[in-house]
Structure 1
Amino acid sequence: MSYDLLLTRIKERLDALGLSERKACLQADVGINTIRHIRVRGHAPKPAALAKLATALGVPPAYFLDAAGGDPASDTLKPSVAAVSTVYVKGAVQAGVWQEALEWAPAEWQPVYVPEDQRYRDVDKFGLLVRGTSMNKVYPEGSVVIAVRLNDLGRMPRSGERVVVLKRMDKDSGMEATIKRYEVDAAGRNILWPESYDPLYQTPIILDDVANNIYHDGKDADHACCQDLDVCAVIIGSYRPE
């Protein structure tokens, strides 16, 4: 069995924390060669050891267990064949709220379990918590949307898709993460539409005007006057806790 995904995730955390494999094992109170034996010999790690490593490296245990096909209630690892996959909620989207980054610290990631989408089986997926009212016709506050980055898909958004948009109103403000419906209209214009009952979020963003520095007057909280805009991901599904 290959543990490439598990080793990639471990290496990401080691690099982020500036730790060696040996130092991480010591901090986790597992065998000092635990990671090396996975990497060099392909040894199947014990779920309990992976859970300790995850905690020591600041991520939820499921982040490593899922990558290794592990069951925390079992003492063995097995290939994951279930039709349900683990996706981590890594941040939040909320129009009108400026933030340092779209993504939370890894220790704050929260797992959700969603049906495997065969269209994106080999593409990294992430979840975002929806806050506010800017897309409440489709995603009420508290919903979780599942997204994939357009860079990972190697394509531009397609008309009709809902997308994650990062925008900045001026050079001194933070980035605002929001969701819009992308459409190409009859005139060939690229437009981002809000889908909200809130009067504050009714005006579309016309991407062609933004690219050409054509700014529109208006007091709408979500109008097109943004200096910096990035359509970074496409929504492939959503989840709403009861």
Structure 2
Amino acid sequence: MLRQLREALGLSQEVIADRLGCSVSQVSRWEAGRSNIPSERLPELARAYEARVADIFQDDDGKMVPLGPQIPIRGKVAAGVWAEAWDITDQGLTMMGRADSDVPLRDRFGVIVEGDSMSEKYPSGTFLDCVAFYANIQIQSGRRVIVQRRNLSGEIEVTVKEYRIDDDGIEWLVPRSHNPSFQAFRVDQPGDDIEEVQIVGVVIGAYLPE
């Protein structure tokens, strides 16, 4: 609906981007539905598009498009950063999740990417919309997953990786990084001094704030 509102005003994406103080590419992602609109920016978007907040969430037929639910942000995911725990849900941080997912809210959570271990896909600062992973769920090769590793000292590292299965059926967790220091590792061979590796979530959406 954003594109239709803008075109009705006879405005370019550059004008909207200037009004919002963001990049043209971000405006394009919002108009194409490739990036979730953060709830705190809805009033600002409404002013930029000279519309009501409700107008932003109408489809081409004038029907309301549902807002995504607010899901808790569990913490930051950063490869190589070890801590006693990573869950910060009790701080009350939330993000808007995808509206088209039928996964129960109890099985959804958000994380914030920190560092460059997945910089090709998710630059530092990206918010990820995730669903909890359970052992009886099949993960498709190529999906991005949230991985938790525990070392022999009991410390936890949580990061995001790309899940792949090779021709021999071996499961790999692969960084998509411009930094060559990050290396792929097998799920069944997580590395020296690692006691356990566990996939705890599957990424279903991503949002990079301006």
TM-score, normalisation: structure 2: 0.62
Q: Whose RCO is larger (CA < 8 A, sep 6+)? A: 2
Larger radius of gyration: 1
Report the Cα offset of residue 157 of structure 1.
2.5
User: Following superposition of structure 1 onto structure 2, how do residues 1-242 of structure 1 map, counting pairs within 5 Å?
Assistant: 82-106=66-90, 108-120=91-103, 124-151=107-134, 154-168=136-150, 170-201=151-182, 203-210=183-190, 224-225=191-192, 226-242=194-210
Report the Cα offset of residue 148 of structure 1.
1.0
CA offsets per residue over residues 75-117 of structure 1, 9 Å max, x none? xxxxxx83322122121100111112221151x2322223312
- Equivalent pairs: percent with the same residue? 30
> CA–CA distance in 2 between the matches of 1:237 and 1:105?
19
Pairwise CA RMSD: 2.1
> CA–CA distance in 2 between the matches of 1:154 and 1:174?
26
TM-score, normalisation: structure 1: 0.55
User: Per the alignment, do residues 186 and 133 of structure 1 end up closer, same or farther by CA in structure 2, a change over 3 Å counting?
Assistant: same
Report the Cα offset of residue 180 of structure 1.
0.6
User: Per the alignment, do residues 228 and 139 of structure 1 end up closer, same or farther by CA in structure 2, a change over 3 Å counting?
Assistant: same
User: Per the alignment, do residues 137 and 198 of structure 1 end up closer, same or farther by CA in structure 2, a change over 3 Å counting?
Assistant: same
Q: How many pairs are equivalent?
A: 145
Q: Which has the higher helix share?
A: 1
In structure 2, stretches of 5+ residues that fail to align are: 1-64
In structure 1, stretches of 5+ residues that fail to align are: 1-80, 211-223
The answer as to whether partners of 1:150 and 1:156 remain within 8 angstroms in 2 is: no
Stretches of 4+ aligned residues off by more than 3 angstroms: none
The answer as to whether partners of 2:112 and 2:127 remain within 8 angstroms in 1 is: yes
